[in-house]
Structure 1
Amino acid sequence: MRGSFLIVMEVTNNYIKFEGVRVPYGVHTVESLNYAWKEFETRDDDVFNVTYPKSGTTWLQEILSLIYSNGDPTPVKTTFSWDRVPWLEQHSGRKQLENRPSPRLITTHVPFHMFPQTFFKTKAKVIYTIRNPKDVCVSLYYFSKIAQFMEYREDFQDFVALFLSEDIIFGRWFEHVKGWLTVKDNPNVLILSYEDMLKDPKANVIKICQFLGKELNDAAIDSVVEHSSFQAMKTNPMSNYSAVPNEYFDKEKGTFHRKGIAGDHKNHFTPDQEVEFEKIYKDCMKDFNISFD
C-alpha cells in the first residue's frame, strides 16, 4: 500500500527492504528512503536523472552538469559527480539537497512507486534512461565485483538468476522500467535510450536541451558531447569514482567505467541463456513496445 512502508533487515548481506525493494544498507537508510519518498519537497525547476542501475546514470550526471554550465567543463573537472548531481535516496540526500539553490539536478534509482509524492504537483522534470537489460545485467555483474556493498556471484549464470529475481537491488529491471513507462506521455518526462545516445550523442544532447528549455549554441553543445564522452569521463577523477575509498569500491578488482558500449552481453550470455532471457523479456514486456539496437 502506498501510504505505508515495510522494513526488513538482512544483516548478513547488508541490505534493507523498503516498499518491497531491496537496497544496500549504509549507503541508504530507512530514514533517507522515507525522506525521498514522502518528505522531499519538489521544486518547479528540479531536474531528476532517473535510471535503473548501470543504465547511464553517471553519463547523464555529466551531461546535465555540462548543459547547466553552458558547456563550460570547469564544474565537471573540479567537483565530484555525486556533489554536482546528488543522490536523492542516499543517506546524504537531505543534507545535499535541502538548501541547494535552484535549479537542482538530482540523481535517483528509485522505482516509480517510491518517487517523491510531491513531483506531480510541480513543473519539475524527469529524464529516464533505458538500457538493454542484458547489457545492464553484465554491467551490474562487474560492478558487484568491485562494490563492497553489493552481493556478488562469481558464476555469471548464477548472477543472471539473481538479476531476474526480486532480490536484485532496486527491484527487477522489468518492473522498474514498466513503472516509469506508464508516465512516458507526461510532457515533463523524457524517455531516453542508452543505445540511441551511443549512436548519436549530439542529437540526444540537443533533445535534452530542448526538453529542459536550455538554449546552447553549437560550440557549447559540442563541448557537452566532448566532455561527457566515455573516454573523458573514464580519465576524469571527478567522475570515474577513483576517489571512493576501497572500503566501498575494491579498485584492484576493476574500474567503475569498464566499456561503455552496447551489445557486450553477446560476450557473456550462452545461446541457452539468450533464449531463456528473451522468453522472460517477452512475457514481462509484452504490453510495452520498446526495442534495443
Structure 2
Amino acid sequence: MDRMEVTENFAGITLPGHLHTQESLHAAATFQFRDTDVVIVTYPKSGTTWMQEILTLMYSKGDGHLAKTVPNWARAPWLEHVYFKDMLQADREPRLLTTHLPCHVLAPALKKAKAKVIYVARNPKDIVVSFYHFHKMAKFLPEPSSFEDFLMQFLDGTVQYGSWFDHVEGWLSQRRELDLFYITYEDLHRDLGHAIEELAAFLGCALRPEEVSAIQQHSSFPAMQENTMVNYTLVSCDILDHSKGQFMRKGIVGDWRDHFTPLQDALFNRVYKEKMRHSSLRLHWPLA
C-alpha cells in the first residue's frame, strides 16, 4: 500500500491515507474490546513509543527479549491502521493496543468492556516541535513550509490527527466512565521507576524491584534509540526519510524553548489559556 499523497477524513479529523483507509477507520470504531485489553491512547508525539516499550517490558517482567526481537508496532498494534488485522495476535492475553483516535470514536465501544485505558499526555509546546520534525521526515505527512505555519495549524487544530486540545479534553472528560489511567510524558521523565510502579498497580501486574530496574534500563531513551525494534530504522526510506532526522530525536523535556520565538510563545500561551480555561487537566508543564 502506498497512498502517500492521500488524506482520509474521518470523525471530524484528517489522517494520512498511507496508514488509514475508511475501512480500517470504521473497523476501529466498531472494534469489540475484551475486558483484558490494555489500550494506549495518545495524541501524536506524546510518548506513545515509550509507553509501548514500558508495557511490553512490564508484561515480560523486565525480560528484554521480546522488545529486542519484535517491532513495537507488532507488540502493541495501532487499532486504526490498515495493518491492524495482520498485526493483532488474537490469542494473546492481555492484548496491547495503541490508538491516536479521538474519544468520541472509541468511547462507546470501550464502555461496553472493562478494557483498561492508559492516556499519555505531554506539554503541547514540545509536541508541536516534535510533530514538526516528524512531518519533515515522514513522506506520508504534508511537508511543512515553516515552523511558524505549522504552529498556526497546530493551534487551529487543522494538522492531521486534529486538535490536541480536543483530543486531551475529550479523553480526560471520560475518566469516570472509562477505566482510565492518566499519566504524562513529564511524569515518565521525572521518575520512571515510580511511574512503572503506578502503572503496574493499575494493571494488576506485580513486579519485583529488580524487574522494575530492568524495565527502566531497557526503556531508557539511549536504549530505545539504539533498539531497531523501537527506533523505526526498519521502516523504508521511501516512507521515512532517515536523512532528514531520527524518529527517536532527543527524548527531553522543554525542547520547545529552542524553537519558539517570544511572539510565538505569547501567542501559544494566549490560545492555550483560552481553550483550556474550563479544563480540570492536571498540568505537569510550565507555560513559560
Same fold (TM over 0.5): yes
Q: Does 1:244 align with 2:221?
A: no
Q: 1:21 aligns with which of 13, 16, 27?
A: 13
Do residues 128 (structure 1) and 123 (structure 2) align? no
**2:221 maps to which of 230, 234, 238:** 230
Q: 1:72 aligns with which of 52, 63, 66?
A: 63
Percentage of identical aligned residues = 43
Structure 1 residues 120 and 79: CA distance shift in structure 2, 3 A: same
User: Match of 2:49, as an amino acid?
Assistant: T
In structure 2, distance between residues paired with 1:209 and 1:137 = 30
What is aligned with 1:208?
A: 199
Equivalents in 1 of 2:117, 2:224: separation in Å? Answer: 23
Structure-to-structure mapping, 1:49-60, within 5 angstroms: 49-60=40-51
**2:181 equivalent among 190, 205, 210:** 190
- Deviation, 1:187, is 6.4
- Counterpart of 1:145, as a letter, is K
Task: Check 1:22–1:187 CA distance in 2 against 1; reply closer, same or farther (3 A cut).
Answer: closer
Indicate if the aligned counterparts of 1:152 and 1:159 stay in contact, CA closer than 8 A.
Answer: no
Q: What residue identity is the alignment partner of 1:119?
A: L
Aligned to 1:171: 162
The answer on 1:102 being equivalent to 2:78 is no
Unaligned stretches of 5+ residues in structure 2: none
Aligned length: 282
Name the CA distance, whole Å, in 2 between partners of 1:66 and 1:223.
Answer: 8
Partner SS, residue 207 of structure 2: coil
Matched residues in 1 for 2:73 and 2:271: separation? 34
Q: What secondary structure does 1:164 align onto?
A: helix
Q: Which amino acid aligns with 1:29?
A: T
- 1:63 pairs, out of 42, 54, 64, with 54
Amino acid aligned to 1:37: A
Q: Contact conserved, 1:42 with 1:116, CA < 8 A, in 2?
A: no
CA RMSD of aligned residues (A): 1.5
User: 1:171-211: CA deviations, max 9, x gaps?
Assistant: 11000000011022356100001112101000000000000
Aligned equivalents of 2:4, 2:40: Cα separation in 1: 31
Change (3 A) 1:187 1:173: closer
Q: What is the deviation of 1:161?
A: 1.1
In the TM superposition, structure 1's runs of 4+ consecutive aligned residues that sit over 3 Å from their partners are none
TM-score (norm 2): 0.94
Taking the aligned partners of 1:177 and 1:30, their CA distance within structure 2 comes to 24
Judging changes above 3 Å, is the alpha-carbon distance between structure 1 residues 84 and 276 closer, same or farther for their aligned structure 2 residues? same
Q: Which amino acid aligns with 2:212?
A: I
Aligned pair in 2 of structure 1 residues 98, 79: CA closer, same or farther (>3 Å)?
Answer: closer
